[in-house]
A and B are shown apart, each in its own frame.
Chain A
Amino acid sequence: MSTLTIADLQVSVATDQGQKQILRGVDLTIKEGEIHAIMGPNGSGKSTLAYAIAGHPKYTVDGGSITLDGEDVLAMSVDERARAGLFLAMQYPVEIPGVTNTNFLRTAKTAIDGEAPSIRTWVKDVRESMGKLRMDSTFAERNVNEGFSGGEKKRNEILQLELLKPKFAVLDETDSGLDVDALKIVSEGVNRAHQATGLGILLITHYTRILRYISPDFVHVFVAGRVAEEGGAELAERLEEEGYDRFLTGETAAV
């Protein structure tokens, strides 16, 4: 059984005012098939955690560890992490001019699997996944994310999730900017991937809205760069009613 373990993770980011610490010792263990929701107010370090796991060069790990089945993730390059089974669905997917989605998906699949997918099944898989995500077939020949609407970009992220079949996926505010129909379509895609491959999920969100469609096993509340409270799905319901004020007040009191 696969396990992603984050221990005492400390991460800083370069700003104009110098290096700024964002994550102040994060502990988190995600096992295969588990869904963990990371919730928290703006600026609490949720996205920083996502990027640190994926290895974005802007973020510097100052301490702690991330291991995947005992392997040191922090020693891996960005693409090695992906090939080891990690996936980040980005909040703002990047446009790649001149590279068609088809070419991109095939190249990524080949890189992850170490061999080119069989053409017949691959074309069928892509078409089926796109159909389930209600993506028009023209998206295959369009350049990656170029001219896509916000919702289309998010669907394209989930398309990659379904096709690349990672062990663990970090979904960075995948729900942001989606109307309710798109939210359902995207959530169904995540649930399909979860059921099909025993995917472990780290679902980062500001709102509880997406948790109506994707049921978390665990909820972690992020405040000021560390986990302030943990619980089951009932914690999300409480946050829905109370918001984050309780934690923010506590933080002020502690200072």
Chain B
Amino acid sequence: MEAATALTPDQHAATASGAPTTGGLPGGSKAHSDGGWDAREKGFIPVQTRDARFRSYAAAEFPAVTGHEVNWKLTPVGRIGDLIDGELSGAPYELDAPTTTGIDVSWVDRSDARVGVVGTPEDKAAANAWGSFDKALVITVSGEDEQELVLGRSAFGAAPRAAHTIIEAKPFSNAVIVLDNSGAASLVENVEIVIGDSARLTVVTVQDFDDDARYVATHFGRVGRDARFKHVVVSLGGSVVRVNPAITLAEPGADGELLGVYFSDAGQHLEQQVFLFHEAANTKGRVNYKGALQGEGARTVWIGDVLIGANASATDSYEQNRNLVLTDGTRADSIPNLEIETGDILGAGHASATGRFDDEQLFYLRSRGISESEARRLVVRGFLAEIVQKIGFAPLEERLNSAIEAELAASVGIAGSTLGRQVDGAQR
């Protein structure tokens, strides 16, 4: 099989990638032009397998973050220094949790046995939060009927804060859980998600924060036997928003669909470092993130790490990221990394594309009388619709479509028709 050896992702990265993924060890390894880690210690081979990264619950065990680390180098660490190693309040916050049959929402002590079942921090910010929270929020889904819970979280406040959340889907349960985040925030959060055998769980995390909010989150997930897990990251509002899902398909038959949709405006940094680990055999993984960028300084980062472990035979995996650049002055980093430790797989692939608006699409729509601003809106909505439609929770889909409309109306709409006329006039 063609994909049976590790692939080098650099040709797909919109910017230089610093994560060599040569599967073989020292013999085939050589210094990478980016990062400079080999210059300090001659002959030092960095961590190469994604699941072999250093991890710890103790922030002090992580060296100070410089911004050169593989998992920080595309993040504006200067804007979140206080979250990475400053003091964080760990007090519980106010929630809007409607009572739902079959779904229990409660606060537990940090000594609770469920804390730490799935996740161990891989970076200093996550460890800082782990050491700081007083109570963990536990959402437990039981029964077999389909349940929905939209958890409103808008009272984090502007002071630096740590949060810990556990979502547990009992075997055979079936639920959609939406973490609906808004308002002010300077928050570091760890979310542990346990998907029991044969459970079906969708977790959507919506980041619709205030303009100056900062949010750094890691979602750890463990998908059990024959369980289906859909994880959706929706990032729209906030100054720096970084959500890193690390999902393990731990038992045979586990299915993971990791989706993301984001819209970055001027000055916004929206980041997601996705890690999907096929640990067990017969697992299926799909990663699909799409984003749009508009305005000076709009930034997005997507790193997609997929690891197919030595025991994960008959695995079927595909990851992709697409970005639509709407204006000058934006930057999208898109870095897919694929490591495969067994040749006995069904398939593994990755794709990445970052491109400008398709002028032919605009021309086509406008030649049918549709104004430029409306045409742009249609194209962007259409581009992002692929992900929105896959969420499978109608009320949220409608809301996201309106939110995307609002993002577009904010700047594109104003420039719209008059600009179009000037451009055409100038081209004659």
Partner of B378, one of A54, A83, A99: A99
Closest A residue by C-beta to B420 = A77
Partner of B361, one of A56, A78, A96: A96
A-B contact pairs, 28 of them (CB 8 A): A57-B359, A77-B366, A77-B424, A78-B366, A79-B366, A79-B369, A79-B371, A81-B367, A82-B366, A82-B367, A82-B368, A93-B364, A94-B363, A96-B365, A96-B382, A97-B383, A98-B382, A98-B384, A98-B385, A99-B378, A99-B382, A103-B378, A104-B365, A112-B369, A143-B382, A160-B368, A164-B368, A164-B369
Closest B residue by C-beta to A166 = B369
Seed contacts A79-B371, A93-B364, A95-B361; 10 additional CB < 8 Å A-B pairs: A57-B359, A77-B425, A82-B367, A87-B367, A97-B382, A99-B378, A99-B385, A104-B365, A107-B370, A112-B369
Contact in complex: B427, A111 (CB < 8 Å): no
Contact in complex: A111, B370 (CB < 8 Å): yes
Asked if A60 meets B428 with Cβ closer than 8 Å, knowing A94-B364, A98-B386, the reply is yes
Contact in complex: B379, A96 (CB < 8 Å): yes
Question: B14-44 interface mask toward A, CB cutoff 8 Å, 1 = contact, 0 = none?
Answer: 0000000000000000000000000000000
Contact in complex: A108, B370 (CB < 8 Å): yes
Chain B residues positioned under 8 Å from A60 (CB to CB): 427-428
Closest A residue by C-beta to B362 = A78
Contact in complex: A83, B366 (CB < 8 Å): no
Interface residues of A (CB under 8 A from B): 54-57, 60-61, 74-83, 87-88, 90, 93-99, 103-104, 107-108, 111-112, 143, 160, 164
CA distance A200 to B417 in the complex (A): 28
Contact in complex: A107, B364 (CB < 8 Å): no
CA distance A98 to B360 in the complex (A): 15
Closest B residue by C-beta to A82 = B369
**Segment 354-394 of B: residues with Cβ below 8 Å from A:** 358-361, 363-372, 374-375, 378-379, 381-386
Q: Is B423 an interface residue (CB 8 A)?
A: yes
Q: Which 9 A/B pairs are nearest by Cβ-Cβ distance? A: A98-B382, A82-B369, A98-B385, A108-B368, A94-B364, A111-B369, A78-B366, A99-B382, A112-B369
The smallest beta-carbon distance between B401 and chain A, in angstroms, is: 11
Asked if A90 meets B364 with Cβ closer than 8 Å, knowing A55-B424, A98-B385, the reply is yes
Q: Which of B369, B384, B385, B428 has the largest number of chain A CB atoms within 10 A?
A: B369
Closest B residue by C-beta to A113 = B369
Closest A residue by C-beta to B373 = A79
Contact in complex: A79, B383 (CB < 8 Å): no
Chain B residues positioned under 8 Å from A111 (CB to CB): 368-371, 374
The smallest beta-carbon distance between B5 and chain A, in angstroms, is: 32
Q: Is B399 an interface residue (CB 8 A)?
A: no
Closest A residue by C-beta to B421 = A77
**Segment 405-420 of B: residues with Cβ below 8 Å from A:** 417, 420
CA distance A78 to B358 in the complex (A): 16
Chain B residues positioned under 8 Å from A95 (CB to CB): 361
Asked if A75 meets B369 with Cβ closer than 8 Å, knowing A90-B364, A107-B374, the reply is no
Contact in complex: A98, B364 (CB < 8 Å): no
Closest A residue by C-beta to B426 = A57
Chain B residues positioned under 8 Å from A74 (CB to CB): 428
CA distance A76 to B359 in the complex (A): 18
Partner of A96, one of B378, B386, B420, B428: B378
Chain B residues positioned under 8 Å from A54 (CB to CB): 363, 367
The smallest beta-carbon distance between A53 and chain B, in angstroms, is: 10
The smallest beta-carbon distance between B172 and chain A, in angstroms, is: 34
CA distance A111 to B369 in the complex (A): 6
Closest B residue by C-beta to A85 = B369
Contact in complex: A56, B363 (CB < 8 Å): yes
**Segment 141-195 of B: residues with Cβ below 8 Å from A:** none
Chain A residues positioned under 8 Å from B383 (CB to CB): 97-98
The smallest beta-carbon distance between B390 and chain A, in angstroms, is: 12
Q: Which of B382, B383, B384 has the largest number of chain A CB atoms within 10 A?
A: B382
CA distance A111 to B370 in the complex (A): 6
Chain A residues positioned under 8 Å from B378 (CB to CB): 96, 99, 103-104, 107
CA distance A80 to B417 in the complex (A): 10
Closest B residue by C-beta to A79 = B366
CA distance A45 to B427 in the complex (A): 19
CA distance A146 to B302 in the complex (A): 27
The smallest beta-carbon distance between A213 and chain B, in angstroms, is: 25
CA distance A95 to B358 in the complex (A): 10
Partner of B381, one of A76, A82, A90, A99: A99
Closest B residue by C-beta to A80 = B421
Closest A residue by C-beta to B428 = A61
Chain B residues positioned under 8 Å from A55 (CB to CB): 367, 424
Closest B residue by C-beta to A90 = B364
CA distance A98 to B363 in the complex (A): 17
Partner of B369, one of A61, A83, A96: A83
Q: Which of A55, A77, A108, A111 has the largest number of chain B CB atoms within 10 A?
A: A77
Contact in complex: A79, B370 (CB < 8 Å): yes
Contact in complex: A78, B374 (CB < 8 Å): no
Chain A residues positioned under 8 Å from B423 (CB to CB): 57, 77
Chain A residues positioned under 8 Å from B381 (CB to CB): 98-99
Chain B residues positioned under 8 Å from A108 (CB to CB): 365, 368-370
CA distance A86 to B424 in the complex (A): 16
CA distance A83 to B428 in the complex (A): 19
Chain A residues positioned under 8 Å from B386 (CB to CB): 97-98
Chain A residues positioned under 8 Å from B421 (CB to CB): 77, 80
The smallest beta-carbon distance between A117 and chain B, in angstroms, is: 13
